[in-house]
Copies of this chain bind each other. A is one copy, B any other.
Amino acid sequence: MRISSDRSPFARRSYHLLRCTVLALAGWLVTATDATAKPVADPGSSLSITEVAPGVHRLRIGQPEEFVPSDFRVAPIQTEKLAALPEPTKPHPFNLETVSYRQTSRGLLIHVKMDETEDWYGGGLLLSHLRQTGRRQIMKVASDPPGRDGSGHAPTPFFLNTAGHGFLVDTAREVELAFGGHQRKGQGMLSGNPELAISEAALYDDGNEVSQELSIMVPRASGVDLFLFSGPTMRHVAQRHVLFSGGGFDVPEWSLGVWYRSFTRADANRVRELADYLEADRIPVSVYGLEPGWQSKAYSSSFIWDPERFPDPQATVDDLRSRGYHVNLWQQAFTHPSSPLYPKLLDKSGDHLVWNGLVPDFALPEARKIFADHMRGLVAQGITGFKLDECDGSDNKSRAWSWPDHAQFPSGADGEQMHGVYGLLYMKTLQEALTEPTFGQVRHAGLFSSPLPYALYSDLYDHKSFLRGVGSAGMSGLIWTPEVRHGTSADDLVQRMAAMVLAPQFLINAWYCTMPPWHQWDKPLNQAGIPLPDDERIALTDRVRAVAELRVKFVPALKDAFANYARTGIAPFRAPVLDHPEVKELRNVDDAWMVGENLYFAPIPGGTTEREIILPPGSWVDYHTGEAIAGGSVVTRSLVLEEPPIFVRAGADI
């Protein structure tokens, strides 16, 4: 076993502490009492710690795999910005004396002692929970997360705690972590349940105290790099993670307005009619999105216009642009046999098909170039953005439409690894084609995705889950949008739209609706082409317009939040605990979020008519009433459909 402590140029100031730690670590290696933690037999194995950027250490255990997310970073480490942050109080988050690891038949197993008084967060987009303490999480890419197991559209093995520490596991595999969720023999006891439980929740959820151990299982690996982030505060950890990943991104102002994605089966005439509706209804739309039917084939995708539905695609694009809309095209990577890309990608794709389509191996620069070259033709027609669908996975679906984890790719990755980075690689590919600033949508993102201007979305539609995604994604350097498709009533439609007023995107995704949802909120009736009675339709249109106009008012503030993201790495949308881990009451707030520095948004979830809101520290003003509210106050807001609860920091210029 070898212990190294490479000194990077900026390591000087923490050199002493680092040296002390390495000495302590060396001591641990000799005196380790954990009988199950043995050094790896392979003499090439090692444990070393290196400062790789200000406040960022690399803890290398064993020999990392060849194919890891950091291989595909899209922007360099923002070293200068990292150096400008306040100095951490500790050089890195782990007490290395408590780190142990061993090689198992499943992969590399790492144990670290935690301070169980701290709470853990992160893990990417979470739709079912926010706080990770006590949980076991598996970073498995799957379009239908079954619950709180960590799988989902954008699992991201970056975690951070309320003490101002964090770490990232540089693996594309389905790494499993437990934050005090497992208990080893001989490592202390939990306090135990005081009385006999009479509910499943008491047995299985509430009754589980937290052990002191963090465990990390990197499957099928015999080594891994952990990147360790030091605060000083929790917010600095999130910021360091983004800056280390290449920074955040800014977006063009038009992309913060109202999006309308139209009926997938619409042809050029229908697209023109729908654009006429939007104008007649005076809905201030700024982006018009075409869904799969723009193509000659879907699913899988041909990436060429359908000659019957769109005999003159340039005319369609020009018409939309002349109305002031930017045009966004849906696509998925799976390449249909009829696509001109098919023969070029045949030997640059995985060994499995998806919907008969090739799965391009975007880890190969040549595959990215072939794909981007084709997309450049669409960009030349005036397309300014894309929606990248189904680049996640399907393991929890009743039918496994995506490639299996045991697939093989020419770049050397297996299917599991490719799932772990496919969103990153797919966005990277499209960015090679796009020439001007954009903001798109994507169904998978993860480590090192923070510089890429895409928002995550989902077919899932539970409103509370959708709201939860905004704040959780932000903590891990991701952006998520709680899009609207239809309503269960006119009020439900308005309530869902209102919850997007301060969301990353205001996105009406009417891909399965023949007409705008405010012409008919009911999905089956909309699909059947039956609009609401005129009076109801006009009234609903007025209400939707009011909400859309409220959104538009906030575009400058939203633009500021994104500009700040690009400049500093501070997530534009984030759960309030990130800014105030010291406020225990905020630690489980998963349905309200900070927007930039001066806005706090607490929409009332669909299906409910009032909610409690805990104001973060500071002085606040209710946007709608002008009422001043002190930070720390708990206020109740009843549903006013077109006026979702918005709080402005006192004195801020909004």
Contact = CB atoms under 8 A, between A and B. Distances in A.
A184 B405 contact: no
B406 A109 contact: yes
Contact of A203 (B182, B204, B299, B353): B299
A134 B401 CA distance: 10
A184 B299 contact: no
A48 interface: no
Contacts of A148: 397-398
A277 to B, nearest CB: 19
Contact of A512 (B138, B146, B199, B299): B199
A588 B349 CA distance: 36
Interface in A181-233: 181-185, 189-190, 192-193, 195-200, 203-205, 207-208, 215, 217, 220
A292 B208 contact: no
A354 interface: yes
Contacts of A183: 352-354, 356
B136 A400 contact: yes
Contacts of A193: 299, 355
A534 interface: no
A88 interface: no
A265 interface: yes
Contacts of A106: 220, 405-406, 414, 416
Interface residues of A, number: 77
A394 interface: yes
B185 A399 contact: no
A349 B185 CA distance: 9
| Count of this chain's copies in the oligomeric assembly | 2
A78 to B, nearest CB: 34
Nearest to A104: B406
Which of A352, A406, A459 counts the most B-chain CB atoms under 10 A from its CB?
Answer: A406
Given A146-B149, A190-B355, 19 more contacts: A106-B220, A109-B406, A135-B398, A136-B400, A144-B147, A146-B396, A149-B396, A176-B404, A178-B404, A181-B400, A184-B353, A185-B350, A196-B293, A198-B512, A199-B512, A200-B459, A205-B398, A207-B299, A208-B399
26 contacts: A36-B351, A104-B414, A106-B220, A109-B406, A135-B398, A136-B400, A136-B404, A146-B146, A146-B147, A147-B397, A148-B397, A176-B405, A185-B353, A190-B356, A192-B356, A197-B299, A198-B512, A198-B527, A204-B394, A204-B401, A205-B397, A205-B399, A207-B299, A207-B355, A208-B401, A215-B404
Interface of A: 36, 104-106, 109, 128-129, 134-136, 138, 144, 146-149, 176, 178, 181-185, 189-190, 192-193, 195-200, 203-205, 207-208, 215, 217, 220, 263-265, 292-293, 298-299, 337, 349-356, 358, 394-401, 403-406, 408, 414, 416, 459, 511-512, 527
